[in-house]
Amino acid sequence: MTNRSAAPHPARSLAERRTIDYIPDTERHGRLASQFTLWLGANLQITAIVTGALAVVLGGDVFWSLVGLSIGQLLGGAVMALHGAQGPRLGLPQMISSRVQFGVFGAIVPLVLVCLMYVGFSASGAVLAGQAIAELTGIDAAGSIVLFAAIVVVLTVFGYRTIHALGRVTSVVGVLAFAYLFARLLSGHDIGALLADRHFSLANFLLAISLSASWQIAYGPYVADYSRYLPRTVSASRTFWAVGLGSIIGSQASMTFGVLASALAGKAFAGHEVAYVVGLGASGATAAALYFAIALGKLTVTTLNAYGSVMSIATIATGLTGRERVSNRARVISIVCVVVIVAWLALAGRHGFLKHFSAFILFLLAFFTPWSAINLVDYYCVTKERYDIPALFDPNGRYGRWNWLGLSVYVVGVLVQMPFIATSFYTGPLVDALGGTDISWIVGLVVPALLYYVGARARRVRMPERLIVPEAASVGTREPGTDRATVVGVADSEAKSG
């Protein structure tokens, strides 16, 4: 609990004031339960259903698709939750910490790709949300997408607290909706027969793993954005479990429903996902409630994407200008611009969604698994939380403009995956030799992690003795030569700088 007499506390405004700047102890708040509900609600949604359905649509059986999806959830969810555990400790959004591994200017490279990810996921989600809103309100599909985009702008402007409140509501609505949908889907069908009809294919099995692993890993670039306000004393392990379990349980429930729905409905599901799901609820008030649940689920995750895009744009802008924060006006303009682009893409590409989304989500792995591997190895194995946060905003500081070790490993991590990628618009030369199996994401995690660890240890990367935060009121001693940074002790398990 905050001691209001210990330090001045800024007046709480309805809309969030901060972007990428460090969250001081006096403004920390929240509980781990909100982390669980946020990620549970964000994953109990129609796009996750569609993603799970792809495992069957593209040739897998029900049993092995469910097993593969579960394995992918655990692997990708662990990666995602490790990023989320950084939030309370650093008090920063996720991508700005990439300046440690890539340099203040060098971090712009993965940031640009992250922005593309936000736009792509948001546009694909807006298509499905538009379908639900159109059925719920009677507005045409185009108008529904525009209305959806306007609501996303409002919620994103309000920011962190509103997003977590939305997550709590969405988790309750999502659990109730999915309980009802599962009951309707399974009634009158022999699920045992579906599970017994097994025809194992290594390629389809690994596809299922890749679908769910990529779904989870794609959250990595912004998961810490939503845990950074937690008190710094919150246990990293407890944050890991709260974030990870919420995301894994929510996405596995959605994808399981998608697998079963696709297997039972066949062509009646593919291309008509929203109509089929709501059709399970017959008509009237029940159907309206399901349309509302679908729209609400998409609203939550699209707001997360829009909010994360602001963090990425602000990180790029401050890296180029040398500033530590952006104005509220610039923040709002960024939100509006991003959501306008999302709405335009959704309107232009609302036909043929399933095919394009499949290729998009799988190809994303080539660009985000190397970044994720480098960031996690650096944070947990090399620097071991010992970041100099004020230096993250100084191109002439400890981390410099460009970190060629991180950048070169990142490029190698992307290139080394190319022979193993299998998507509709690009297939690597080694895919056929592997029976059509896509193992690029495994290569993209392992190779960069090993290269960066070896390179960083050989280079003896400079790092502070302790975590340094930009608030003089914290407990600790000052870093020599600074006028506002404070050295903060780290966990007992931390190793000394090597």
Spans of all domains in the chain: 25-354
* Rounded Cα distance, 208 and 450, in Å: 26
**Where does the pLDDT of residue 494 fall: very low under 50, low under 70, confident under 90, or very high at 90 and above?**
very low
Nearest Cα to Cα of residue 494 among 388, 389, 374, 385? 385
Q: Kindly state the average pLDDT of the residues 159-169.
A: 92
**Where does the pLDDT of residue 87 fall: very low under 50, low under 70, confident under 90, or very high at 90 and above?**
very high
Question: Three-state SS for 422?
Answer: strand
Task: Return the exposure string of 197-227: e unless at least 16 CB atoms fall within 10 Å of the residue's CB, then b.
Answer: eeeeeebbbbbbbbbbbbbbbbbbbbbbbbb
- Strand 486-488 relative to strand 467-469: parallel, antiparallel, unpaired? antiparallel
Where are the alpha helices (H) located in 322-364, listed in sequence order? Answer: 328-348, 353-363
**Where does the pLDDT of residue 242 fall: very low under 50, low under 70, confident under 90, or very high at 90 and above?**
very high
First to last CA, the chain: 36
* Rounded Cα distance, 287 and 277, in Å: 9
More confident residue, 236 or 276: 236
Which range among 45-54, 71-80, 431-440 shows the weakest confidence by mean pLDDT? Answer: 431-440
What are phi and psi for residue 488, nearest 5 degrees? -120, 135
Q: Kindly state the average pLDDT of the residues 84-112.
A: 92
Quick check: 38 pLDDT over 90?
yes
More confident residue, 65 or 485: 65
pLDDT at 167: 93
Per-residue pLDDT tens over the stretch 384-400: 889 999 989 888 888 88
Phi-psi region of 68 (alpha: psi -120 to 50; beta: other; left: phi over 0): alpha
Quick check: 161 pLDDT over 50?
yes
* Rounded Cα distance, 332 and 326, in Å: 10
CATH number of 25-354: 1.10.4160.10
Nearest Cα to Cα of residue 158 among 319, 310, 260? 310
pTM of the full structure: 0.87
pLDDT at 270: 65
Q: Could you tell me which residues come within 8 angstroms of residue 12 by beta carbon, excluding any fewer than 6 positions away?
A: none
How does DSSP assign 48-68, residue by residue? Answer: HHHHHHHHHHTT--HHHHHHH
Q: Which two tokens stand for residue 218?
A: 């794609």
pLDDT at 266: 73
**Where does the pLDDT of residue 101 fall: very low under 50, low under 70, confident under 90, or very high at 90 and above?**
very high
pLDDT at 330: 85
Quick check: 200 pLDDT over 80?
yes
Q: Could you tell me which residues come within 8 angstroms of residue 418 by beta carbon, excluding any fewer than 6 positions away?
A: 366, 428, 440
Q: Which two tokens stand for residue 338?
A: 């991003």
Q: Could you tell me which residues come within 8 angstroms of residue 217 by beta carbon, excluding any fewer than 6 positions away?
A: 76, 79, 80, 365, 368, 369, 372, 441
pLDDT at 282: 66
Q: Kindly state the average pLDDT of the residues 271-281.
A: 73
More confident residue, 372 or 482: 372
Per-residue pLDDT tens over the stretch 115-151: 887 888 888 788 878 888 888 888 888 899 999 999 9
More confident residue, 202 or 362: 202
Which range among 25-34, 53-62, 226-235, 353-362 shows the weakest confidence by mean pLDDT? Answer: 353-362
| Percent of the chain scoring above 90 in pLDDT | 37
Which range among 184-198, 281-295, 406-420, 481-495 shows the weakest confidence by mean pLDDT? Answer: 481-495
**Where does the pLDDT of residue 237 fall: very low under 50, low under 70, confident under 90, or very high at 90 and above?**
very high
Quick check: 482 pLDDT over 80?
no
Q: Could you tell me which residues come within 8 angstroms of residue 408 by beta carbon, excluding any fewer than 6 positions away?
A: none
Per-residue pLDDT tens over the stretch 181-195: 888 888 877 888 888
Highest mean pLDDT: which range of 15-29, 210-224, 235-249: 235-249
Quick check: 323 pLDDT over 90?
no
Q: Could you tell me which residues come within 8 angstroms of residue 214 by beta carbon, excluding any fewer than 6 positions away?
A: 72, 76, 361, 362, 364, 365, 441
More confident residue, 212 or 118: 212
What's the mean per-residue pLDDT of the chain? Answer: 83
